[in-house]
Structure 1
Amino acid sequence: MLVLGVESSCDETGLALYDTTDGLLAHALHSQIAMHRAYGGVVPELASRDHIRRVVPLLNEVLQRAGRTRADIDAIAYTRGPGLAGALLVGASFANALGYALRVPMIGVHHLEGHLLSPLLASDPPAFPFVALLVSGGHTQLMRVDGVGQYTLLGETLDDAAGEAFDKTAKLLGLDYPGGPAVSRLAEFGIEGAYELPRPMLHSGNLDFSFAGLKTAVLTQVRKLGNVCEQDRANLARAFVDAAVDVLAGKALAALKQTRLKRLGVAGGVGANTQLRARLNHDAQRRGLKVYYPELAFCTDNGAMIAFAGAMRLQADPEQVQDGYGFGITPRWDLEDIRIPAPVAG
């Protein structure tokens, strides 16, 4: 079965072709970072208009790369939510119009499920069950993943997501959008221990997160310093990254201990952070655990994860095929709402 995936939940247009026999055949992505940088963040209306311009050329690109035609497509998966309403509508309307023209089945995919399953696209994928640390611009969650559609929330952020804290810290330090990668790069030049920032909820006794206080601590320090020199900026970036990584790694390892699992899958844009990966790899090796990551290209939003998640869902529960081509979107959507009932033994 050849599945076309369409991702348009925010500021990246991604399309991909995934074959359930041959794996990922081709993927293409257009990022809007350059366009939104002038505004310091994503402008929803501009994002939606750009998706409209990009989606058809990207479809032609992935078909050409894969050596396939539109007639070869057996099913279409698209991001139904969560995300920006206008951006989601572009991908959903395009996917359903194409599905109607080709008379192929459709399935709306949860954006976070795409991220959760993205480590399975790697050459060395984790086996079920595993704990997933989902760290992106808008979400920070720990999930137990027992199979496709079998997700149990273990903990989540009570305020800012880790990615939001990275972006807000970047603004405080005068760094360009997107802030996360810029903070991480600057932190490499910082002196360890030059500033001490809090590790919110690290010892809370549960698996929830909080990053608003960490961001506020950076703000307080910036105000104390007044005119921040380049080395102070690097030191603050280092202190922030060290604190965020301590919390993320500490909670992830606590989740593995609580569930008695030995496999951790890391997904989402912050999952590409080099400091976080180094810390998780180090701690996992000491404890006899293993960490799995998607390829860097699949950490941020992309069509491959949507095509893959749609293909896995259609295989796990073929009855999920959309009824007709009258589509809807779900800008706010709880991941646990898409749970597939576990098969009954015997």
Structure 2
Amino acid sequence: GLSGALQVGLAGAKGIAYALGVPLYGVHHLAGHVAADPLEHGPLPDPCMVLIVSGGHTSLLLVRDLARDPIAHLGDTLDDAAGECFDKVARVFGLPYPGGPAIDRAAREGDPRAVPFPRPLPGSYDFSFSGLKTAAARWAESHTGRELPVHDGAASLQEAVADVLTRKAVAACREHGVGTLVVVGGVAANSRVRSLAEERCRAAGIALRVPPLRLCTDNGAM
């Protein structure tokens, strides 16, 4: 998050803890996203693969005991995260903020095969959505002076993001012999990410856990 907001929150928490004489525990934001899933589905299996997809983070984590063992980062965001890509492209497409839900809604009436958007970093577990964002912006610019087929653009962008996320997550499960994939974060609310993850996990014999929508975005339950 933004450093100013985080400093205000931390200072407030310290003040409350001091005034009440209670301990203050620091919780890593990414670990908080992971911890949202057990609130709905019970304890995490050891081990499990976790795909965090949010506005600022896209990470692939190998998780054992969330409280006691270090989290192994298999892949992380190198530039724009998936949620950031949705937000920026939505603005270019003339869709409202936040961009993720707007892209999801617009995509329902579009053709996901209409625009051949790239699939970034196919040979790595890291994530990069800056090039995809640029490709979508250039595609929109190519329609200057005529109507932009927003629904097709949204559907094609969403398909590219969901394809990259789920393909890498399932591949990581197979490589590391992990039988459960957990998908968390704001973009885990995206309908195509959820449906494609379910489809590919079923085909690979992998159990899929995705929190309900109310636990996908940043929230106090984390």
Show the counterpart of 2:65: 147
Is the counterpart of residue 122 in structure 1 residue 40 in structure 2?
A: yes
Is the counterpart of residue 218 in structure 1 residue 145 in structure 2?
A: no
Structure 1 distance, partners of 2:42, 2:10, is 32
Aligned pair in 2 of structure 1 residues 256, 245: CA closer, same or farther (>3 Å)?
same
Deviations 1:7-59 (A, max 9, x none): xxxxxxxxxxxxxxxxxxxxxxxxxxxxxxxxxxxxxxxxxxxxxxxxxxxxx
Scaled by the length of structure 2, what TM-score is found? 0.94
Please state how far the C-alpha of 1:200 moved relative to its aligned partner.
1.2
Show the counterpart of 2:91: 171
Contact (CA 8 Å) 2:79, 2:128: kept in 1 or not? yes
Please state how far the C-alpha of 1:227 moved relative to its aligned partner.
3.7
User: Aligned residues: percent identity?
Assistant: 44
Find 1:108's aligned residue among 26, 46, 56: 26
Deviations 1:231-252 (A, max 9, x none): x110011110111111001010
Structure 1, unmatched stretches of 5+, are 1-82, 306-346
Contact (CA 8 Å) 2:41, 2:209: kept in 1 or not? no
Structure 2, unmatched stretches of 5+, are none
Secondary structure in 1 matching 2:25: strand
Deviations 1:191-221 (A, max 9, x none): 232221111122x1x2111111111111111
Show the counterpart of 1:135: 53
Contact (CA 8 Å) 1:122, 1:293: kept in 2 or not? no
Matched letter for residue 170 of structure 2: L
Aligned pair in 2 of structure 1 residues 241, 189: CA closer, same or farther (>3 Å)?
same
Is the counterpart of residue 253 in structure 1 residue 193 in structure 2?
A: no
Contact (CA 8 Å) 1:140, 1:156: kept in 2 or not? yes
- Tell me which moved more, 131-140 or 110-119: 110-119
Is the counterpart of residue 192 in structure 1 residue 112 in structure 2?
A: yes
Is the counterpart of residue 284 in structure 1 residue 201 in structure 2?
A: yes
Q: Which structure: larger Rg?
A: 1
Contact (CA 8 Å) 2:112, 2:158: kept in 1 or not? no
Show the counterpart of 2:3: 85
Please state how far the C-alpha of 1:228 moved relative to its aligned partner.
5.1
Number of residue equivalences: 220
Aligned pair in 2 of structure 1 residues 154, 272: CA closer, same or farther (>3 Å)?
same
Contact (CA 8 Å) 2:112, 2:157: kept in 1 or not? no
Secondary structure in 2 matching 1:150: coil
